[in-house]
Structure 1
Amino acid sequence: MQVDFYHLTQQPLDRVLTRIAERVVEGGGRLLVVTNGEEQRVAIDRLLWTYTPESFLAHALAGGEGDQAQPILIAADPAPANAARNIALADGVWRDEALTFERAFHFFDADRIAEARIAWKSLAERDGIERRYWKQNDAGRWEQAA
């Protein structure tokens, strides 16, 4: 199980999340995007339809009849109604339920760095978990720092 910690310092979540979602779907995977905030779920929904003029990422807000068919599902909790094996924690809150997935993307900013450090340290003690910490360099490119 792999957990990727993304420290958002220069690019906002919407720029990073869309690229990761694209990669997951292009690789034939499914993604569950989790955030507690309804406003953020609606914003991510809108983003995935409009983030680039030439395309969109097929997705839905959880709770509809076709949840199981969605390559990307946006939800308030980490229950993958779309059978996703990848989870993106978009609100900066770590959830241990993410460990039931094959890969977790944990996004956090300066407001959530203390909680991210606690999650990072707690995962070090667990078998079978590969942790990666990503940060942006001065040019805005992502580099693996740990």
Structure 2
Amino acid sequence: MASASIASTPSPWHAAYPTPRNSPATISREEVLDMIKRSAETPSRDYVLVDLRRNDYEGGTIRDSINLPAQSLYPTMPTLYTLFKDAGLRKIIWYCSSSKGRGNRAAGWFADYIADQGDDQMKSLALAEGVKGWATAGNEYVQQMIEYDASIWL
């Protein structure tokens, strides 16, 4: 008698890491746009935007963001925290396409890490509606993107 093989669905990449303890705070695209405009008027800024996309990194990204694929985030949090802290950053803003999966998860993990350090100065935030919400919000937002490709966002 032949044995039937059962196909198993692989676990998602994030299953290897703990679930964030708390729901992350979010920040609206309007608030971020205002921060970008203010930082253009002064030489310093206290925030960083982190684009978490990897395979779906297309259509452009918000100007001056760094790309850190979500799959590499969890093990690098101690180093990232030190770099961000030493740079004087107070708001770490995470996003992916919609910020409903990777963006929220990253913001939650990093918020947990910040709390574990006893840091009450730094905040970890998810960009509401992600880069898709940004790219489809109008010309004022598109002007703050690099490598923008309208065909991706239709």
Please indicate, yes or no, whether the TM-score normalized by the shorter chain is above 0.5.
no
Structure label with greater radius of gyration: 2
- Larger proportion of strand: 1
User: TM-score normalised to the size of structure 1?
Assistant: 0.38
**Structure 1 or 2: larger helix share?**
2
